[in-house]
Amino acid sequence: MESSVLERTEDKTETLGVVDCDVHPAFSRPDQLSDYLPERWKQHVRDYAIRSANPLLGTLPYPRLTPGNGMRRDSWPPAGGPPASDLDFLREQLLEQCNIEIGILQPLAAGSVAFNMELGAALCSALNDWQIDKFAGPEPRLRASICIPQEDAKEAVAEIDKRVTDRRFVQIAMPPRTIEPAGRKRYWPIYEAAEHYGLPIGLHTSAFGYRPNTPSGWTSFYLEEHFAASNSLQTVMSSMILEGVFEQFPKLKIVLVEGGFSWLPSLFWRMDREWKRMRSEVPHVKRKPSEYAAENFWYTTQPIEEPEKNTHLLDILRWIGPDRLMFSTDYPHWDFDDPRYAFKVPLTPAEKNAIFRDNAMKLFRLQ
């Protein structure tokens, strides 16, 4: 009997499809982005290359489990090129096999963290053209993110203004390890634009940024960096709430991508307790911090937490609220979550539909 119930829920998800909030498109060759740069920057990249805080060009700071900077071993396209650079194979391996109705692209490239900020702005614009040209244009199931040079708010807003009429862009993408904490006023023009257009801002954990991966500097191991991702997103959340961003922009929508979610309840509890004691220090924060979180923040699921006792995940889910979580695969990275097997707890059909599809449909206005 139990198995027949399970099958029925699975069938339902299959007919409805899944929204995947974290798909990483890749360049088919290392210099592909140059095709989308104006001549001035094409020459610059040719002569000086793209410099960011990464130690070596084309590498990440830590060695990963698998070739290609940590790709699923079975994701290399048979026709050649790196994982997720071949649209046909991405369609087959991700969209078809995992029944993805809509996948949101999260390009991870140095545009937003290039040392040369003018170049960074040009790279972001090139990334936006590239996403449409190679992925979201030819494949309507894929949607793009507006990459912005967030440290130069004026340029960032100009890029948002330029893309906003193209409905294939469904969010603004910004890295969490910014020069100053995300709530600081230098970023407010971006938040004003995002709120004005009703576009969520997705802050995707990144292996690069202007700052080290922990507040005390660089970790020794990739394993440490992998969960230091949560620290950087905690900083984003507490900074934005306590700087009063959501008093100024009450309709702003923030998505924390790939940083886990089981830490959220304890952060809510701590922020609320300290706010009760010390709110005179931050009189601009008019409500309990967790109330802003409940209205202005969403979270993607991958890499999903796997407690010793799986059912503990249900407590976390209840504390956060099933309306705030959105499923993501992180394709084609090694820590990919498969929508068929990732949640190892029994969700009600309503929770399942919300997490796997409806929350994202509503937030990103995908219908």
Partner 1 sequence: MTSAQAEVKARPKREASRHVVARVDEVAEGKSKLVNVEGRAIAIFNVKGEYLAIANRCPHEGADLCRGSVVPLIESDTPGVVRLSRHGELVRCPWHGWEFDLRTGKSWCDPSRTRVKSYDVKVERGAALVEGPYQAEVYKISVEDEYLVLEL
Footprint of partner 1 (CB under 8 A) = 65-66, 72-74, 334-338, 340-342
Pairing of strands 18-23, 100-105: parallel
- 3-class state of residue 34 by DSSP: helix
Q: Which residues pair with 325 in a beta bridge?
A: 299
Give 49 or 341: the residue with its C-beta nearer to partner 1. 341
SS3 content of the chain, % helix, strand, coil (to 5): 45, 10, 40
Which is nearer to partner 1, 43 or 66 (by Cβ)?
66
Helix (H) or strand (E) holding 147: strand 142-147
Of 167 and 309, CB closest to partner 1 = 309
To partner 1, the closest distance from the beta carbon of 341 in angstroms equals: 5
DSSP state of 302: P
Minimum separation from the CB atom of position 75 to partner 1 (A): 8
Q: Cβ closer to partner 1: 72 or 324?
A: 72
Residue closest to 24 by CA, chosen among 202, 190, 195, 176: 202
If the CB atoms of residues 42 and 64 are measured against partner 1, the closer one turns out to be 64
Closer to partner 1 by Cβ: residue 277 or 341: 341
CB of residue 65 to partner 1, shortest distance in Å = 5
Beta-strand ranges (E) seen in 246-340 are 254-257, 297-300, 325-326
Shortest Cβ distance from residue 340 to partner 1 (Å)? 7
Report in angstroms how near the CB of residue 66 gets to partner 1 at its nearest: 8
Helix 222-242 vs helix 264-278: crossing angle, to nearest 10 = 40
Asked if 239 contacts 282 with a C-beta cutoff of 8 angstroms, the reply is: no
Find the shortest distance in angstroms from Cβ 74 to partner 1.
4
